[in-house]
Amino acid sequence: MTIKTKKDETPSVTLHDKFGRALNSLRISVTQRCNLQCFYCHREGEAASKNEMTKEEIAKIARMACEFGMKKIKLTGGEPLLREDLPDIVREIAEYANEVSLTTNGVLLEKYAQTLSKAGLKRVNVSLPSLNPEHFRRITKKDCAQQVKDGIKAAVQSHLHPVKINMVVLKGINVDEIPKAIDFAQEVGAILQLIEFEPIQPENYVHWKTFHYDLVSTENWLKEKAVSIQENPLHKRRRYILEKNSSPVCVEIVQPMHNSTFCENCTRLRVTSNGKLKPCLLRKNNLVDIVSLIRKGASPDELREAFRKAVMLREPYWKRRNEELQLAFA
Ligand code: SAM
């Protein structure tokens, strides 16, 4: 079977899962190492492992995903900027992907923003759980709030647009900081993403009970202030456009818990840092080991089969109840 691979060409094969969701993006974890210790971290839903893929293996998997129409590739971790070969990985994937993006804690971003932009990185998400240095230290166990802010500014200057600031909202710590975070996003020219705390790792649960904050009231507040409301096709996340001093700022809500709409509109497949295709952030029991196949010298068709298998294992984690489903498809 010949599959077109060049940038911007319509793929001849697009994978759909059993629930009709077309796959268009791949989120690859490139390491589990991290230079922060955020107490809420879900570690991309991975089991602990020290086994990392090589840059060649990452590139091979990304290339195959692009053949299947997953041409938006996001690199995550751990902290991806701890990999010295990250610019090489970006450069290679940018050859065939439509968009290579990165999610980072921003600590090393000021140093690497230009290099990554030149390597072909299109955009970046930067975690900034608090602007307040004391709260930042409480959450991450490190004194890096200023470094992260500088990293965000460097990303904007390096045209890694849109720069998105990721803020996991935590009851009793940073909820009151949301207006300041909106001001900061506007000042630097970034989008603010307010993310609901998800308890994915067993160790998250104890913190979740204390710090989980339901974003409903925040969303109602945003609805009142917004001059317009838009939608991100991924997960149908709402985007609220506010206006301050005649200039706009966008606040996106990421609210996955008990949200069937979120899962119905999930169009991404994941890869763990140790080389397994991961159909869902919230499930650990349906991984497809692709890196072992690569290491055994599997043929392209065998690797394609692994992709198809992983896609067929996809299942929405949060589902509508039966009667709601009947209404939706009536
Ligand atoms: N180190 C990078 C960073 O900080 O962005 C990449 C890894 S981090 C796991 C990826 C994203 O997951 C970040 O935006 C972070 O805020 C978010 N995240 C981590 N733990 C979370 C949780 N328990 N619930 C919701 N989002 C979480």
For residue 217, report the distance from its CA to the centre of ligand 1, in Å.
Answer: 22
The CB of 198 under 6 Å from ligand 1? The reply is: yes
For residue 42, report the distance from its CA to the centre of ligand 1, in Å.
Answer: 7
The CB of 273 under 6 Å from ligand 1? The reply is: no
Nearest CA to ligand 1 atom 2: 104
Predicted confidence band of residue 1 (pLDDT cuts 50, 70, 90) = very low
CA–chain centroid gap for 325, Å, is 27
The CB of 79 under 6 Å from ligand 1? The reply is: yes
For residue 41, report the distance from its CA to the centre of ligand 1, in Å.
Answer: 6
In whole angstroms, give the CA distance from residue 191 to residue 88.
27
The CB of 281 under 6 Å from ligand 1? The reply is: no
The CB of 166 under 6 Å from ligand 1? The reply is: yes
For residue 226, report the distance from its CA to the centre of ligand 1, in Å.
Answer: 26
In whole angstroms, give the CA distance from residue 4 to residue 98.
14
pLDDT of 162-214, one tens digit each?
999 999 999 999 999 999 999 999 999 999 999 999 999 999 999 999 999 99
The CB of 140 under 6 Å from ligand 1? The reply is: no
**Domain residue ranges of the chain, discontinuous segments joined by +:** 25-328
Across residues 310-324, what is the average pLDDT? 84
Residue 86 pLDDT greater than 80, yes or no: yes
Place of tokens 């909106």: 182
| Whether the bond into 162 is cis, omega within 30 of 0 | yes
- So what's the pLDDT on residue 329? 42
- So what's the pLDDT on residue 181? 98
For residue 297, report the distance from its CA to the centre of ligand 1, in Å.
Answer: 34
- Which segments of the chain does DSSP mark as H helices, in order? 55-67, 86-94, 109-119, 133-140, 145-157, 178-188, 204-211, 216-225, 260-264, 291-295, 300-312, 322-328
Average pLDDT taken over every residue of the chain: 93
How many CB atoms lie under 10 A from the CB of residue 215?
20
In whole angstroms, give the CA distance from residue 61 to residue 294.
9
For residue 254, report the distance from its CA to the centre of ligand 1, in Å.
Answer: 12
pLDDT of 100-127, one tens digit each?
999 999 999 999 999 999 999 999 999 9
pLDDT of 243-283, one tens digit each?
988 899 999 999 988 889 999 999 999 999 999 999 999 99
Say which DSSP state 174 is in: T
Which atom of ligand 1 sits closest to the CA of residue 126? 5
Which atom of ligand 1 sits closest to the CA of residue 201? 23
The CB of 76 under 6 Å from ligand 1? The reply is: yes
- So what's the pLDDT on residue 2? 39
Place of tokens 């079977």: 1
- So what's the pLDDT on residue 322? 56
For residue 166, report the distance from its CA to the centre of ligand 1, in Å.
Answer: 8
The superfamily (CATH) of domain 25-328 is: Aldolase class I (3.20.20.70)
